[in-house]
Amino acid sequence: MVDSIGINVATKRSGATTVSATMFFAAMVGIPVFVTGGIGRVHRYGELTMDISSDLTELGRTPVVVVSAGVKSILDIPRTLEYLETQGVCVAAYKTYEFPSFFTETSGCKVPCRVDSPEECARLIDANRKLNLGNEVLIAVPIPKEHSASGSLIESAIQHALTEAREKNITGNAETPFLLARVSELTGGALLASNIALVKNNASLGAKISVALVQFK
């Protein structure tokens, strides 16, 4: 996370980067578009725990476009979108008006902006930057249709895992690791296959957006 960058640099330690930290470094070296699987989020019961990912804050202050498949439904999608709005982040969905929930194409949550081509994405990004709004655009891309069946299976497993967590009174920091591990157990190889498929799909669109952005320089 961004809050650990200074510590690692000062102590000369290595480490992996979250979405927020990757955005920070990308901005430093002039990389305008960053692709990931899913972004961080507001956790369930975040209104009580204040467990909110720094990814959302970074999107509100760092000029790096993020292309992702949305947010996993084990988390609080409506509150995540509310928090992004508070941060002034423009959320656009690709070829839909509905925010995707990572493993499935839909979440039941609408977005204010729809883009239907890499060129439209680039035009939106360029306008956002020319206005000097100081934030960036999140492009939410639904999982490919051919993997939506697996997505439905995974969504069912998520709901099952959520029920188990409530029954076992697993909350706080222990909840998300439990849910992810349980979903992986319940779905077998479907979880990994869907992850790979959506990341490849995001990367393809991200590359096309990067090419389209060149014409605005």
The letter for the amino acid at 18 is T
pLDDT of residue 67: 96
* d(C-alpha 41, C-alpha 56), whole Å: 7
pLDDT of residue 202: 96
Q: Exposed (0-12), middle (13-18) or buried (19+): which is 181, by Cβ within 10 Å?
A: exposed
CA 57 to chain centre: 12
Identify the pLDDT of residue 206: 96
pLDDT for residue 213: 94
| pTM of the predicted model as reported, rounded to 2 decimal places | 0.83
pLDDT score of 207: 97
- The H-assigned helical ranges of the chain are 5-11, 19-29, 46-49, 54-59, 77-86, 118-130, 148-167, 175-187, 190-213
pLDDT at 117: 97
> What pLDDT is attached to residue 142?
93
The rounded average pLDDT for each run of 10 residues, N- to C-terminus, in the chain (217 residues) is: 78 83 88 88 62 76 90 77 88 94 84 95 93 88 81 79 88 76 81 85 96 89
Q: For residue 72, what is the DSSP state?
A: -
